Amino acid sequence: MGLAVGIDLGTSNSCVACVRNGEVIVCVDSEGRHTQPSVVAFGTRSVIVGHRAKKQLLHAPESTVMSAKRLIGRNFEDAEVQRMKARSAFGVFRGDSGDPRFRVHGKAYAPEEISGHVLAHMKRIAEAQLGEVVDKAVITVPAYFNDPQRQATRDAAQIAGLECLRILNEPTAAALAYGYGRAQKKRIVVYDLGGGTFDVSILRVDGDLYEVIATAGDTLLGGDDFDNLCADELVRMFEAQVKQSFADNRTVRMRMREAAEMAKIALSESEEVLIDLPTAWRTVQGVDHAFTYTLNRHTYARWVLPLVQRTLLICEETMRSAKMNMRHIDAVLLVGGMTRYPLVREAAQHLFGRMPDTSVNPDEAVAVGAAIQAHMLTSTDAMTSPTVLLDVTPQSLSIRTMGGHCDVLIPHNTPIPTEQSKVFHTAVDQQTEVRIAVYQGEGRHADMNELLGQFVLDVPPMPRGQVRVRVTFSIDVDGIVQVRAVDDKLAKEASIRIEARGGMSPEEVREAQLDTLNASDITPA
């Protein structure tokens, strides 16, 4: 039997940890690095992941895929998919089931496959360090991920050859890392701003009990957005300088984006930074145009303040949902790489009226919490403390009713696991099927929410109103939605067909698993 680890599968970076002999180990690669870029570079014959792949980004952007997590579980038509399509050097196209696929060297990859390569890389790093086979993992996701995004993350684990023990919310994992082994009674806020997503969760921690009271977030608000916004400003200045439009020049955009991220990281330590790109643009005639600009914190703050303010609004809304005010909070945890930026720290500190707790490492806390949970789920040691995690569903589950309105069955912030039943009658004589469309989200209209699936129940032909089908919607501990139906009269399970379900088919997942497991790119440390 192999080991169980915790993996923080991030938009920008990933981290893997394990509990061994009662101690948490954050696994490092052969060069001692604790986190790995979630970047996958496809060669003609090999696949490389992590730091080496990130290095390839500038030389071979058309075959190097990053930020795949922003597309996982989404529809091709989503605005974010279209934005990535316009900005990326690799192809993004519509898969047969309506989800986005990447095209690299003429081959198609689902976002799950890219995440699968990242997870397989993390598994190999853990195996190299621990000297044992790793075959199980608790994998973290943003608390605000919806059902298709969670399902797709499970598929990514299977592709990587890992049994997914649990899908755990990132802020909950961070809270576990903070509270583990510290018998205490506190109400804490976890403010989690990573590379691609923002989450905030309010928890009550009482000894070994971790209870999420409310959570909210934005799955398209993270460091990538800061970098894209800054890159837009730099491109605009460069366009004015050389009197040339770069709207269709992805190489110039890529260079500016890279420069924007480096400038942001430098600005978190110093007041100003010199952006110096000797070859920001090379013309077809081979003439190089340089771009230099001194960016200071003040200008950067002016550009990105709307993004920071969005996170604060979400925090205020979550506090309202939890029916709490700032005085009720005992500790504020900041996690995610973006919380290293002073403006972000100051904004969170100002909002919550207290200094953030610095006892957790913002880059590792989520993986550490996942490792603790993995240990809890697999340990046979009676001494392991029986920690109880009570999480909530971040988004409401509803069904579409007449006029396209949404009838909420399970409201957001309901403790999970949970289930709710509803009885449906046939409306027409001799009707042979009942169609139920299930949505997730807070919009009052169905078209403002995410369609999870159309559930079609086959019913016996009878006069209208005579067939009663009890449909039970449940959300499991992973936040994944399940639907069951029982024909009330026959007292037997009614058959359900699920339509409009995107993502990879089980056969595709199995094939991708073989491809991923055959691709090897690291030499054990």
Active site positions, annotated = 8, 69, 170, 192
Binders of ligand AMP among 362-391, rule CB under 6 A? 363
Comparison of 219 and 268: residue with beta carbon closer to ligand AMP: 268
Binders of ligand AMP among 115-144, rule CB under 6 A? none
Options 156-164, 336-344, 484-492, 515-523: segment touching ligand AMP (CB under 6 A): 336-344
| 429 contact partners, CB below 8 Å, separation of at least 6 | 462, 463, 464
One residue of 10, 161, 217, 479 binding ligand AMP per CB under 6 A: 10
Binders of ligand AMP among 180-219, rule CB under 6 A? 194-195
Under rule CB under 6 A, residue 223 binds ligand AMP? yes
State the minimum distance, in angstroms, from the CB of residue 371 to ligand AMP.
16
Q: What is the 3-state secondary structure (H, E, C) of 335-351?
A: ECHHHHCHHHHHHHHHH
Under rule CB under 6 A, residue 340 binds ligand AMP? yes
Options 52-60, 124-132, 332-340, 395-403: segment touching ligand AMP (CB under 6 A): 332-340
Under rule CB under 6 A, residue 503 binds ligand AMP? no
Options 11-19, 123-131, 483-491, 506-514: segment touching ligand AMP (CB under 6 A): 11-19
Comparison of 87 and 289: residue with beta carbon closer to ligand AMP: 87
Q: Is 118 left (phi over 0), alpha (psi -120 to 50) or beta?
A: alpha
State the minimum distance, in angstroms, from the CB of residue 310 to ligand AMP.
15
Options 6-14, 46-54, 277-285, 399-407: segment touching ligand AMP (CB under 6 A): 6-14
Comparison of 87 and 340: residue with beta carbon closer to ligand AMP: 340
154: three-class secondary structure by DSSP: helix
One residue of 6, 7, 11, 143 binding ligand AMP per CB under 6 A: 11
Comparison of 147 and 364: residue with beta carbon closer to ligand AMP: 364
Under rule CB under 6 A, residue 12 binds ligand AMP? yes
Under rule CB under 6 A, residue 37 binds ligand AMP? no
Under rule CB under 6 A, residue 336 binds ligand AMP? yes
Binders of ligand AMP among 281-320, rule CB under 6 A? none
Comparison of 142 and 179: residue with beta carbon closer to ligand AMP: 142
Comparison of 12 and 75: residue with beta carbon closer to ligand AMP: 12
Comparison of 54 and 264: residue with beta carbon closer to ligand AMP: 264
What distance, in Å, lies between the first and last C-alpha atoms of the chain? 22
Strand order in the sheet with 331-335: 331-335, 185-193, 198-206, 209-218, 388-392, 415-416
Q: What is the 3-state secondary structure (H, E, C) of 256-281?
A: HHHHHHHHHHHHCCCCEEEEEEEEEE
**What backbone phi and psi angles, to 5 degrees, belong to 244?**
-150, 140
Options 95-103, 158-166, 262-270, 320-328: segment touching ligand AMP (CB under 6 A): 262-270
Comparison of 337 and 394: residue with beta carbon closer to ligand AMP: 337
User: Is residue 53 a contact partner of residue 41, using CB atoms and an 8 Å limit?
Assistant: yes
* Rounded CA separation 522/148 (Å): 31
CA distances to 128, 250, 349, 378 from 135, in Å: 13, 39, 40, 12
Options 4-12, 245-253, 309-317, 499-507: segment touching ligand AMP (CB under 6 A): 4-12
| 402 contact partners, CB below 8 Å, separation of at least 6 | none
| 256 contact partners, CB below 8 Å, separation of at least 6 | 231, 234, 235, 238, 277, 280, 291
Under rule CB under 6 A, residue 169 binds ligand AMP? no
Number of H helices and E strands in the chain, helices first, is: 11, 29
Strands 13-20 and 163-169: unpaired
Strand order in the sheet with 397-400: 406-410, 397-400, 433-440, 450-458, 496-499
Under rule CB under 6 A, residue 261 binds ligand AMP? yes
One residue of 265, 390, 456, 483 binding ligand AMP per CB under 6 A: 265
Comparison of 10 and 100: residue with beta carbon closer to ligand AMP: 10
Number of residues that bind ligand AMP (CB under 6 A): 17
* Rounded CA separation 139/162 (Å): 10
Residue nearest to ligand AMP (CB): 223
State the minimum distance, in angstroms, from the CB of residue 182 to ligand AMP.
23
**What backbone phi and psi angles, to 5 degrees, belong to 39?**
-125, 135
State the minimum distance, in angstroms, from the CB of residue 199 to ligand AMP.
11
One residue of 124, 264, 375, 400 binding ligand AMP per CB under 6 A: 264
User: Which own/partner pairs from 105-110 qualify as long-range (CB within 8 Å, at least 24 positions apart)?
Assistant: 105/42, 105/44, 105/63, 107/42, 109/65, 110/503, 110/504, 110/508, 110/512
One residue of 65, 234, 338, 504 binding ligand AMP per CB under 6 A: 338
**Helix H or strand E segment including 155:** helix 147-159
Under rule CB under 6 A, residue 13 binds ligand AMP? yes
User: Is residue 162 a contact partner of residue 134, using CB atoms and an 8 Å limit?
Assistant: yes
Amino acid in position 214: A
* DSSP code at position 440: E
* Rounded CA separation 523/370 (Å): 25
| Contacting residues toward ligand AMP, per CB under 6 A | 10-13, 194-195, 223, 261, 264-265, 268, 336-338, 340-341, 363
